[in-house]
Amino acid sequence: MSQHHDDDARGRNPANRLGIDYRAVPPRVATGRIIDVHTHVHRSPSVACFFAAAAAYRIEHIVSMTPLDEVDALRAVYGERLEFIAIPRWRSMAKTDEFRRQWIADLAVFRSKGARRMKFWMAPPMRGDHGLTLRDPFFGPVIGAALELGYEFMIHVGDPSVWFRPGGRYADAARYGTKHEQYDQLEYLLETVAPRSVIAAHLGGNIEEPDFLQALLDRHPHLYLDSSATKWVVREIAWQPERVRAFMIRNADRILFGSDLVVDPKFDFTHYASRYWVHQQLWETDYRGESPIEDPDAPQPPPLVGLALPPDVLHKLYHENAERLGHG
Ligand SMILES: [Zn+2]
C-alpha cells in the first residue's frame, strides 16, 4: 500500500502527525494474547494491511462486524483469527417488515457460521433519522429471535458528549434526544435479555462520566464495556486520567479491549497501526504528550495521557474477559 494514501491536502497523514515509525512496535508490557472485540473488517484492497498491523501489535484474534456476504471469503483467508458479530444489512436500513425479516434470517445464518453475539447500532441518528429507539416494538421480534438463537449482545448507545453541545451534530435534542436520554434503551435491553451478557461499545458511550457508567455497571452485573474508539477515548481520558484509571481498575473484570478499526480502501498500514500504537500507549504506559492522531474535537495539539494500568488489569482487558465471554 502507498505510504501516502491517507495524506491530507497539506501532505500530512492525519494518522501520524508526529512522524512515528509504527513498524517499530514498542515492547509490550503485557505478555499473552490480545483479542480485539470491536472491528469492522471488510473485503477490501487494504484488508491485508489491517491484518499486518494487527499482527505487528500482537492482536491475535479479531472479532468483526462484517457484512454477511463477505464472511465466507474473509474466513477462507484468515480462518480462526477472525470471528464475527451478527449485524443487519445496514445499507438497506428501513423500518419495514422486509428489512426485519431479512435481519432475523441473517441472524440464523450468522449463528451457523459461529457468531455468538449480535449488535444493535442505536446511536442518535437511529432516533433522529428513523424515529427508533430499542424500545420501539419494531425491535421486539429481533430481540426475541436473537434470544431464541442463543445470542449474547453488543450495543452502540450514545456518542461523544461534545457532539450534543450547542453547534454539535446532535445539538437538536428534540430530534436526537439528550445524551442521557440515549440510555433508557440500554437499560431496556439489559432488563430484557438478562442474564445474557451485553457489551456496551465505546466504553458504554460515556467515558466522559465514569460515575454514570459505574451506576449502570453496579445495577446490571451482565453489562460489559469495550474500550473501542480511539480519538474519543484518548480525548476524554486526557483531561481526567486519574478518574478513568481508577474506573478501569475497579471494573477490570468488565472491560474488553476493542479498537473500532474499520477496514476501508482509503486506509493503509499507517492508519491501522496508529490506533493500535495509541491504545498501547494509553493502557500500558505513562506517556504524556501529543497524540499522533489528528482530532478536530480535541484541544490543539491533541493530548495523549497514558494510564499505565497494572499487568493483571491489562490481562483482563486484553484477553481474559473476552475469553470468559466465549470470544477468541
Ligand atoms: Zn464500531
Residue 214 binned pLDDT confidence (cut-offs 50, 70, 90): very high
Question: 59 CA distance to ligand 1 centroid (A)?
Answer: 17
- Give yes or no for a contact between 283 and 309, defined as CB atoms under 8 angstroms apart: yes
Q: How far is the CA of 40 from the centre of ligand 1 (A)?
A: 6
Cα–Cα distance, 158 to 177 (Å, whole number): 10
The Cα–Cα gap between 308 and 322 comes to 21
Mean pLDDT of 206-222: 98
Give the distance (Å) from ligand 1 centre to CA of residue 292.
Answer: 21
Q: Which fold has domain 34-324?
A: TIM Barrel (3.20.20)
pLDDT in tens, 164-190: 999 999 999 999 999 999 999 999 999
- pLDDT score for 281: 98
Report pLDDT digits (tens) over 42-81.
999 999 999 999 999 999 999 999 999 999 999 999 999 9
Are β-strands 288-290 and 303-305 bridged in parallel, bridged antiparallel, or unpaired? Answer: antiparallel
| Beta carbons within 8 Å of 201's beta carbon, 6+ residues apart | 38, 119, 154, 155, 156, 157, 225, 226, 228, 229, 258, 260
What pLDDT does residue 162 have?
A: 96
CA of 112 to the centre of ligand 1 (A): 23
Mean pLDDT of 15-23: 97
% of the chain beyond a pLDDT of 90:
95
The half-sphere exposure of 221 on its side-chain side, counting CA atoms within 13 A, is 1
Query: Is the previous residue joined to 195 through a cis bond, with omega within 30 degrees of 0?
Result: yes
Average model confidence (pLDDT) for the chain? 96
Residue 124: per-residue pLDDT:
98
**How do the domains of the chain map onto residue ranges?**
34-324
Per-residue confidence at 31, pLDDT binned at 50, 70, 90?
confident
If one counts every other C-beta atom within 10 angstroms of the C-beta of residue 256, the result is 27
Asked if the model's pLDDT at residue 195 lies above 90, the reply is yes
pLDDT-based confidence at residue 12 (cuts at 50, 70, 90) = confident
What is the Å distance from ligand 1's center to 201 Cα?
A: 7
Give residue 11's pLDDT: 59
Q: How confident is the model at residue 22 (pLDDT cuts 50, 70, 90)?
A: very high
Position 9 confidence tier, pLDDT thresholds 50, 70, 90:
low
What is the model's pLDDT at position 7?
A: 58
Residue 4 has pLDDT above 50, yes or no: no
Q: Give the pLDDT band of residue 1 (cuts 50, 70, 90).
A: very low
Ligand 1 centroid from CA 155, angstroms? 10
Amino acid at 204: G
State in Å: Cα 183 to ligand 1 middle.
Answer: 18
> 56 alpha carbon to ligand 1 midpoint, in Å?
22
Residue pair 307/237 in contact by the 8 Å Cβ criterion = yes
The answer to whether 107 and 151 have CB atoms below 8 angstroms apart is yes
- Closest-CA residue to 116 (of 148, 143, 151, 162): 151
Of 189, 194, 93, 88, the C-alpha closest to 143 is: 189
Residue 39 C-alpha to ligand 1 middle, in angstroms? 6
How many angstroms separate the alpha carbon of residue 259 from the centre of ligand 1? Answer: 8
> 290 C-alpha to center of ligand 1: Å?
25
Q: What is the pLDDT of residues 257-290, one digit of tens each?
A: 999 999 999 999 999 999 999 999 999 999 999 9
Residues 6 or more apart in contact with residue 126 via CB below 8 angstroms: 132, 133
In this predicted model, what pLDDT tens digit does every residue of 80-94 receive, in sequence order? 999 999 999 998 999
pLDDT for res 10: 58
The residue type found at 110 is F
33: CA distance to ligand 1 center in Å? 22
Residue 2: the pLDDT is: 40
